[in-house]
Structure 1
Amino acid sequence: MVKVYAIDGVTPVVNPTAFVHPTASLIGDVVIGPECYVGPGASIRADFGRFEMGPGSNFQDNCTAHGFSGEDIIIGENCNIGHGAVIHGAVLQDRVLVGMNAVVMDGVVLHDDVLVAALAFVPAAMEVPPGVIAAGTPAKILRELTDEEKQWKVAGNRDYHNLTMRCHATLNEVEALTELDSPHPRLKMQGSKPLYKTREDT
């Protein structure tokens, strides 16, 4: 059962086509749109302002969202928020990718098709223009995304669309086996590859 909490009479809203993992926590003025994915251990605290996630976006394992009083957190359509990232009072437009363990601070605006590298720190009030990579601590704009990188982002988002449907269809809590079956079933996946492998193939 997902941990959903109302505060001051405001209850989270989750579209029925979205998937929220049972270990995630949603508090207050949360709006999760259609076909979104919220991963294990994610914490979305909308107890000071609204958190809104647009259609097809994902907020992966152990991500955190929060903000100061009256500041909304907006995540647009088809965004990928990587494992362990922190979004604090920021606005993300469409098709944004925030890498693993990156931190995006208050007043930041990430325009369409931005890629924030893993472990980056995007400082308060920074505005990142469309279609670029931002990386480092503090983050700096490195260059424009290549067509290959844009396609890779889209493929990764498609994987999470598919995962949302798979979770609705087949995810269930079970007891672990004590030994391998013979033969033991394996997952048969044909999703996207890590970016470095995509580059090796071209």
Structure 2
Amino acid sequence: MPCYALEGVVPVVDATAYVHPTAVLIGDVIVGPGCYVGPCASLRGDFGRIVLERGANVQDNCTIHGFPDQDTVVEENGHIGHGAVLHSCVVRRDALVGMNAVVMDEAEIGANAFVAACAFVPAGMRVPAKSLVAGIPATVRRELGDDEIAWKREGTETYQDLTRRCLASLVETEPLPAIEEGRPRLQSPEVRSLIATRRG
């Protein structure tokens, strides 16, 4: 992966974490045990520190950055969806930030809370634990149900499994010129959308 020291500060990646080769880590970045960092994610610790705690995932095309002397933290089992932007904020344990959402300076996403896809969480907002926020700017819509929190946890566990799968078998290769006979399908855990989960 492109990994850059800045003024002698070198990124740290736990041996049990997986960082895709196209992700970029700069300076004061700490990736904890069992974390997943997806393709083209940018973690720029060139001003403030960036910390991913155990089991967190930061998916493809995410950007994480912060102001000097401020930490941007994704706590244990935090789940950051495709294309999200985090800046000088804290995502508490087991929280989810949806695809293409933005979480701004000194905001705090409470434990087990959800930030909806494409939401804009303004600077300084405190999102209560176990709540759903959505919109531009984000507002609290409702409390989350136990089924939604369980669904999120299953999704996070799927990314933790993906970390192990990538460490064990992901290799760069050349594409095949044609589909081979009997092409196998990847054997991954069953993952259902929240809508499908509610339908039972």
Query: TM-score band, normalised by the shorter chain?
Result: over 0.9
Give the length in aligned residue pairs.
200
- Helix, strand or coil at the partner of 1:185: coil
Gaps of 5+ in 1: none
Write out per-residue CA displacement over residues 118-166 of structure 1, whole angstroms, 9 at most, x where no aligned residue: 0000000000111100110000001111011000000000100100000
Match of 1:29 in 2: 28
Instruction: Name 2:198's counterpart in structure 1.
Output: 199
Q: Distance in 2 between matches of 1:112 and 1:186?
A: 35
Shift in Å at residue 19 of structure 1?
0.2
Q: Deviations over 1:77-104 (max 9, x none)?
A: 0011000000011011100100000000
SS in structure 1 at match of 2:140? strand
Tell me which residue corresponds to 1:104: 103
TM-score scaled by length of structure 2: 0.98
Map 1:183-198; keep pairs closer than 5 Å.
Answer: 183-198=182-197
- Structure 2 unaligned regions, length at least 5: none
TM-score by length of 1: 0.97
Query: Over the residues paired in the alignment, what is the CA RMSD in angstroms?
Result: 0.7
User: 1:85–1:101: 8 Å Cα contact kept in structure 2?
Assistant: yes
2:36–2:58 Cα contact (<8 Å) kept: yes
* 8 A Cα contact 2:32 2:52, kept in partner: yes
The ranges of structure 1 where at least 4 consecutive aligned residues each deviate by more than 3 angstroms after the TM superposition are: none
1:1-202 map, 5 Å: 2-201=1-200
